[in-house]
Amino acid sequence: MNVTAQSVWNNCLSFIKDNIQPQAYKTWFEPIVAVKLTDNALSIQVPSKFFYEWLEEHYVKILKVALTKELGENAKLVYVIKMENTYGNKQPFTEKIPSSNRTAVKSQDVDIPLNNKSPELKNPFIIPGIRNVKIESQLNPNYNFENFLEGDSNRLARNAGIAVANKPGGTSFNPLLIFGGVGLGKTHLAHAIGVDIKDKYPEKTVLYISAEKFTQQYIDSVKKNNRNDFIHFYQIIDVLIIDDVQFFSGKSGTQDVFFHIFNHLHQNGKQVILTSDKAPVDMQDIEQRLLSRFKWGLSAELQTPDFETRVSILKNKLYRDGVEMPEEIIEYVAKNIKTNVRELEGAIISLIAQSSFNKKEITLGLAKDIVDKFVKNTKREVSIDYIQKVVSDYFQMDVSTLQSKTRKRHIVQARQLAMFFAKKYTKASLASIGSQIGKRDHATVLHACKTVDNLSSTDKQFRKYVEDLSKKLSL
């Protein structure tokens, strides 16, 4: 009988088929093509470098057994990696090209003796399953809809999230972009949608990833020359959740690859969920074509929760932790921590911890101490806008008056005080302070700082201004 690459490989295949799971056989062996047989070396063509790494990692033993049976002790296996076209302008990624027609741009031979130690699985995109390729969702089950309390501040975003979870890819909220300030629940809501989808549609592939990690993976894939595997991996996902997309700012390579992945998913009716700390109109250094995609679906804002919502969030947290706390203390915390749910929870957690470590009763006094610490910490990062607001309020004038060109003495003084505090409490440069406080230059700011120093040591009334304002700004 005539021994050909094909016949040797067919014999190997029937042996392998009997020894592994049908699904694995279909995935990993059917796509292989035997291409050449020379002496005792069989060359097989595999679709990608990743494919070869996977075979080496998982099937090197069975390959060795099969091949030695056919070709004897000195059998060798040579992998020929079929490189696919890179997605560029030449080949639009939306066009489906049957793999048999795909032209190999270049092929690369990898000659591996079978007794080689299997190389590590380097592909970061796939978590090795036992007999199947499985993608782990990376979802946190603790972040669900049940414990994401509804209020006016989040009603739209929360309900849009529920709608998306009921019909991923099937609503007009695609992409769903959730935006809002830090600690307002973007990450929580994004997970909740994913968790709910996994629950309702277990067969769907859901993936949560931070924009930062996505960027890192992309950079790695370029370094390792498997950008295509990266793209393919993301294109098979049914529900893609990317957290903090503002991280893509200024990263044009990542934006480009995301643009292609996004288009592919969108055209195939897959759901994309994004979060950002800014509304699309305020995002900087993000390409226009990407921003316009963000606006295709729904942008829903998470605002700061009102008092009632803050109280219910706290009560819910306490209830889940099995801790009881007097109503007046809960209300005190909710009244004083307004802008960040994470801090709201943080204050309650410290309160519980303090009281249990020191065996102290939870009193209003203890609550005040702890809340003070939280509030102080946040206020320390004052902005120039905030300083101008505080100074104008103090002198009962508008911010625009403070910034105006007028030379009226009391207005000039207010402006100089704002500059002085901006220098003292922010890291901004003199030039930047000047441009933000009425478009002045850096010399004006420097002069203002000196004047305030001088006046506060010679003028009692002026010193009082400085002291009052310091208190307001540092509390």
Binding residues for ligand ADP (CB under 6 A): 147-149, 154, 180, 182-188, 313, 341-342, 345
* Closest to 207 measured CA to CA, from 235, 229, 226: 235
The footprint of Mg ion on this chain (CB under 5 A) covers a number of residues equal to: 2
Question: What, of Mg ion, ligand ADP, none, does residue 342 touch, CB below 5 to 8 Å by kind?
Answer: ligand ADP
* Closest to 107 measured CA to CA, from 33, 49, 42, 166: 49
Identify which of residues 50 and 179 has a Cβ nearer to Mg ion in the complex: 179
Identify which of residues 70 and 243 has a Cβ nearer to Mg ion in the complex: 243
Q: Note the maximum CA span of the chain.
A: 111
What element of type H or E holds 314? helix 307-321
- Which residue in the set 45, 154, 187, 254 belongs to the binding site for Mg ion (CB under 5 A)? 187
Q: Which stretch binds Mg ion (CB under 5 A): 182-190, 348-356, 357-365, 431-439?
A: 182-190
For residue 154, the minimal CB distance to ligand ADP (Å) is 5
The residue with its CB nearest to ligand ADP is 185
For residue 187, the minimal CB distance to Mg ion (Å) is 3
User: Is residue 143 within 8 Å of 192, Cβ to Cβ?
Assistant: yes
Identify which of residues 188 and 310 has a Cβ nearer to Mg ion in the complex: 188
For residue 335, the minimal CB distance to ligand ADP (Å) is 18
Question: What, of Mg ion, ligand ADP, none, does residue 272 touch, CB below 5 to 8 Å by kind?
Answer: none
For residue 147, the minimal CB distance to ligand ADP (Å) is 6
For residue 349, the minimal CB distance to ligand ADP (Å) is 10
What are the distances in angstroms from CA 242 to CA 37, 54, 233, 454? 47, 27, 15, 53
Residue 276 binding Mg ion, by CB under 5 A? no
Identify which of residues 147 and 432 has a Cβ nearer to ligand ADP in the complex: 147
Question: What, of ligand ADP, Mg ion, none, does residue 85 touch, CB below 5 to 8 Å by kind?
Answer: none
What are the distances in angstroms from CA 95 to CA 98, 403, 417? 10, 57, 63
Contacts with Mg ion, 135-174, as mask; x by CB under 5 A:
----------------------------------------
For residue 279, the minimal CB distance to ligand ADP (Å) is 14
Identify which of residues 188 and 440 has a Cβ nearer to ligand ADP in the complex: 188
Q: Work out the angle between the directed axes of helices 364-379 and 327-336 (0-180°, nearest 10).
A: 10
Tally the residues of the chain: 475
Question: What, of Mg ion, ligand ADP, none, does residue 167 touch, CB below 5 to 8 Å by kind?
Answer: none
Question: What, of ligand ADP, Mg ion, none, does residue 176 touch, CB below 5 to 8 Å by kind?
Answer: none
How far is the C-alpha of 405 from the C-alpha of 408, rounded, in Å? 9
According to DSSP, residue 184 is labeled: S
User: Is residue 5 within 8 Å of 36, Cβ to Cβ?
Assistant: yes
How many other C-beta atoms lie within 10 A of the C-beta of residue 211? Answer: 21
User: Is residue 44 within 8 Å of 34, Cβ to Cβ?
Assistant: yes
For residue 148, the minimal CB distance to ligand ADP (Å) is 5
Q: What single string gives the DSSP state of each residue in 355-418?
A: HHHTT----HHHHHHHHHHHHHHHHTS--HHHHHHHHHHHTT--HHHHHS----HHHHHHHHHH
Q: Which stretch binds Mg ion (CB under 5 A): 13-21, 187-195, 287-295, 311-319?
A: 187-195
Write phi, then psi, for 274 (nearest 5 degrees): -130, 150
Identify which of residues 180 and 434 has a Cβ nearer to ligand ADP in the complex: 180
Question: What, of ligand ADP, Mg ion, none, does residue 154 touch, CB below 5 to 8 Å by kind?
Answer: ligand ADP
State the residues that interact with Mg ion by CB under 5 A. 186-187
